[in-house]
Amino acid sequence: MNEFHSVLQALFHDKPGSIINAAAGFLSKAEDESGTARKINASFLVLLMGNNHFLYEKARRFLNEMKADPLWHDTAAFYLSGEDAVKEEISQQCRSSPEFFASLSNLSDYLNTPVTDLQEEPSSTLSEMIHSVFFPEGTGIKASKEERIENLRERRTITITALNRNPIFNPINDVLFTSNVLLTVPSASTIYDDLPLSDDLKGALKEAAREPQVYWYDHPVQIGVEAEKNEILYGLKGLDRAVEFEKNRKDESGDTFDKKKLTVILSVSVTHKRLHSIAGQYIKEELIRSGGLKHIDVYLFTEEDTGRIVDHILLPFWKHHMKRDADDEFLSVFGVDGEYGRHYSFLKAIAAFWHVLISNDIKATFKIDLDQVFPQKELVEESGASAFEHLMTPLWGAQGTDHNGNQVELGLIAGALVNEKDIGDSLFTPDVKFPERDLSPDEYVFFNALPQALSTEAEMMTRYTSGSLDGKTTCIQRVHVTGGTNGILVSTLRSHGPFTPSFIGRAEDQAYIMSVLLDRDITPAYVHKDGLIMRHDKEAFAQEAIQEAHIGKLIGDYIRILYYSAYARVLTGSIATIKDKLDPFTGCFISKIPLTIVYLRFAIKAASFFDSGNSKEGFEFIKNGIPRISAAIRFTEGRPSPLKQRYEKERRQWNRYFDILSELEKAIGQGDALALELKIKAREIVRHCRY
């Protein structure tokens, strides 16, 4: 541990090469709750510098005193256990990995060079050295961006062995569009009686606002927000216009689409339990008030609706036809409330249900986010095809081999995003650019913006224009995908059964493929469709919601490291194989030292809030972050861990779901009386969900 303590002593002192001044935070006066929180957090940073630090004993005594205080017990206990966890993790990693120990030793030597030498070093050298220990996925990118982009494209290249002979022909008829609605209570300054809602809705909202929040989302829709800031209306109106454009385009060419409406499924998730019962009613009221939709049919699925599908369709068939007993959590995985992973899996899995029981015309599902729209005019001008024409590519469903010679099935598809502020320059402007700025203190430990920019350029911005990537004999396999602008064929969905575990609360889109990444002879994969781009408009109209959710999003990012790292170990004994497939961006959240990274990121970020004068934000960050991170740590610990047990249960349940649908489909084809009765009931449930 000498090298580790030496590194942190250099990083947490007020001298060249340091990133935070821990001593100043610890020696500050604790005059109020924010000041106490600052001092407790700084005490932890002092402890990590080792027992030879001049403030170590004072910091430990202070934390123990705070642990004895009922008001601060949980906070102090979090940090005290964190010191032990970090020391154990670093020691274990040094024992098991000579490469890690060498990097740590080199960093220690570097940081302890004479001060004058460090002052002359460029800041990029310091960040590279620190990243080599804590964030190796980010090293070397800035110095050789173009080379790294080409290397990553080579790793992602698929050689096509067979194009899809039966691709999507009529997207309006063949593709089930889906999206998720995330609802929360109004902002604290809202006068509830002034909201343009029915009285029963306003009464329920007042009750919900008094409840504790149970789920956190990036930028949920605040019930009662003005129509122009309402993401639900924004996204659905945009999709409605996109379908109108599509129909007009086909009419002009003489090659008409089916005149039916596009079917859109919305999952409705909430941050407070009391919102369960009013979510559907609220959305229906808003859609009616806005004038409705001309070209799309919208179906709203709340937790109550998904429960009816399980209880009245899937469970009766399971018991009667498949002769199986039902356990207490028969298909509890099938629903929409909870973390992002739960509704994300539902929005994929519902396509199989729809194909079997509602319309067998459905061949695929395609998810969008409601803060995104198809810029149809720019798509046609710059890519040569409209949004729906891109979905008709025979690459979607093609077979091929990856750079290692493994067989892949391109049954999933992924597009890209362009920010609203950038589309004037070009449709093909990456939504995440290489950062050209100084790093914040916590980014020296973990800087995901760097590999994210690399993956965005290498994967999302690839165009099949010439050279080795022509979009006919070769294409790009996507690993880095976004929550919207991706889809899956029903055939791939049913044969492989991918899902995102319901405990995943961040990057649920990237976790989806992990469930089937390693255990198949023919691996399902995303095909990159160049030109399939949506305009991302969240900053244009959802600033208030984004700001409200800022702290929750930060904390969710730290939990993502804990869960991704633990999940990868559940899927494979060694994370090296899965990281090789998912690096640099998706894989960077799978860490060899996840507890160390999370504790360091959290404590350094908190210190940054206080040091910059944002004491209120720093206190909120600690107050909200520690309970959530503590719960996440407990969830990943143990043999077997609760996370492992949850994953295995959910894998069994999703297998059960797809088995039921296969047997139900056969029974319908054979004219089975119960199956035909359930098909009628399923359509009744779906009709009830139509807005």
Annotated domain spans of the chain: 2-152, 163-428+463-548+638-689
For residue 451, pLDDT beyond 80: yes
Distances 230 to 34, 371, 485 between C-alpha atoms, Å: 34, 9, 20
pLDDT value at position 495? Answer: 96
Task: Give this prediction's pTM.
Answer: 0.93
Q: How many DSSP H helices and E strands does the chain contain?
A: 30, 12
Mean pLDDT of 403-427: 95
Write out the H or E segment, with its range, that includes residue 130. helix 123-134
Contact by Cβ (8 Å): 472, 502:
no
Residues 6+ apart with CB under 8 A from 183: 220, 221, 223, 268, 269, 270, 271, 275, 279, 282
Report phi then psi at 533, rounded to 5.
-130, 135
pLDDT digits (tens, 9 = 90+) for 211-252: 998 887 877 888 888 888 899 999 999 999 999 999 998 766
Whole-number pLDDT of residue 546: 64
- Check residue 188 and give its pLDDT: 79
Encoded tokens for 669 = 């084809």
Phi, psi of 524 (to 5 degrees): -70, 145
Name the residue with tokens 């091929």: 400
Contact 596, 464 (CB under 8 A): no
- % residues pLDDT > 90 (the chain): 77
Count of CA atoms in the C-beta half-sphere (13 A) of 548? 18
Is the Cβ–Cβ distance between 606 and 618 less than 8 Å? Answer: yes
For residue range 477-496, list pLDDT tens digits in order.
999 999 899 999 999 999 99
Amino acid at 650: E
Cα→Cα distances 633→373, 607, 627, Å: 38, 21, 10
| pLDDT one-digit tens code per residue, 112-162 | 877 555 555 556 788 999 999 999 999 999 899 999 999 999 999 999 999
- Which residues make Cβ contacts (< 8 Å) with residue 68, sequence separation at least 6? none
In the predicted model, what is the mean pLDDT of residues 660-677? 97
**What residues contact residue 69 under an 8 Å CB cut-off, 6+ apart?**
76
Task: Tell me what pLDDT residue 547 has.
Answer: 67
What's the mean per-residue pLDDT of the chain? 92
pLDDT at 553: 85
C-alpha–C-alpha distance, residues 25 and 63, integer Å: 14
Distances (CA, A) of 607 to 23, 25, 73, 230, 618: 11, 7, 20, 35, 7
Peptide bond into 640 cis (omega under 30): yes
- pLDDT of the residue at 327: 83
The full length of the chain comes to 691
Q: Alpha-carbon distance 434 to 185, whole Å?
A: 36
Which tens digit of pLDDT belongs to each residue from 79-106?
999 999 999 999 999 999 999 999 999 9
pLDDT of residue 277: 82
Give the H/E segment covering residue 160.
strand 157-162
| Stretch 1-6: mean pLDDT | 94
> How far is 101 from 133, CA to CA, in rounded Å?
9
Residue that has been written with the tokens 């005193």 in this structure: 65
The confidence score (pLDDT) of residue 240 equals 97
Residue 258 has pLDDT above 80, yes or no: no
Q: What confidence tier does 465 reach under pLDDT thresholds 50, 70, 90?
A: confident
**Residues 643 and 566: beta-carbon distance below 8 Å:** yes
**Structure tokens that stand for 95 in this block:** 């024992």
> How far, in Å, CA of 28 to CA of 40, rounded?
11
524 within 8 A of 513, measured Cβ to Cβ: yes
* Predicted pLDDT of residue 218: 76
Give the pLDDT score at 97.
Answer: 95
- With a CB cutoff of 8 Å and minimum separation 6, the contacts of 642 are 634, 635, 636
Q: Which helix (H) or strand (E) holds 412?
A: strand 407-419
- Predicted local confidence at residue 99, as pLDDT: 95
Q: What is the largest CA-CA distance in the chain?
A: 85
Distance CA 298, CA 300 (A): 7
Cα–Cα nearest to 417, from 452, 444, 448, 447? 452
**Cis bond upstream, residue 584 (ω within 30):** yes
Place of tokens 């969240």: 538
What whole-number distance in Å separates Cα of residue 586 and Cα of residue 161? 27
Tokens of 437: 């700025």
Burial status of residue 258 (CB atoms within 10 A of its CB: 0-12, 13-18, 19 or more): middle
Mean pLDDT is lowest, of 256-265, 325-334, 413-422, 499-508, for 256-265
Least confident of 36-50, 116-130, 158-172, 309-323: 116-130
d(CA 423, CA 536): 10
Confidence (pLDDT) at 121: 59
- What does the block give as tokens for 351? 């396509």
Average pLDDT over residues 287-314: 94
Across the range 106-112, mean pLDDT stands at 92
Q: Mean pLDDT, to the nearest integer, of 526-530?
A: 97
CB atoms near residue 461 (< 10 Å): 20
Decide: 168 and 365 in contact? Cβ < 8 Å. Answer: no
Average pLDDT, integer, range 607-634: 95
At 224 the pLDDT is 86
The Cα 168–Cα 396 span in angstroms is 8
pLDDT of residue 228: 85
Assess contact for 542 and 229: CB atoms under 8 A: yes
Q: pLDDT tens, 314-362? A: 999 999 988 888 887 899 999 999 889 999 999 999 999 999 999 999 9
For residues 334 and 353, what is the distance between their CA atoms, to the nearest angstrom? Answer: 11
Q: What share of the chain has pLDDT > 70, as a percent?
A: 95
**How far is the C-alpha of 476 from the C-alpha of 512, rounded, in Å?**
18
Give yes or no for a contact between 556 and 507, defined as CB atoms under 8 angstroms apart.
no
CA within 13 Å, CB half, 525: 31
Q: Does 549 have pLDDT greater than 90? A: no
Q: Which of 274, 235, 269 is nearest to 341 (CA)?
A: 269
Residue 544 pLDDT class (50, 70, 90 cuts)? low
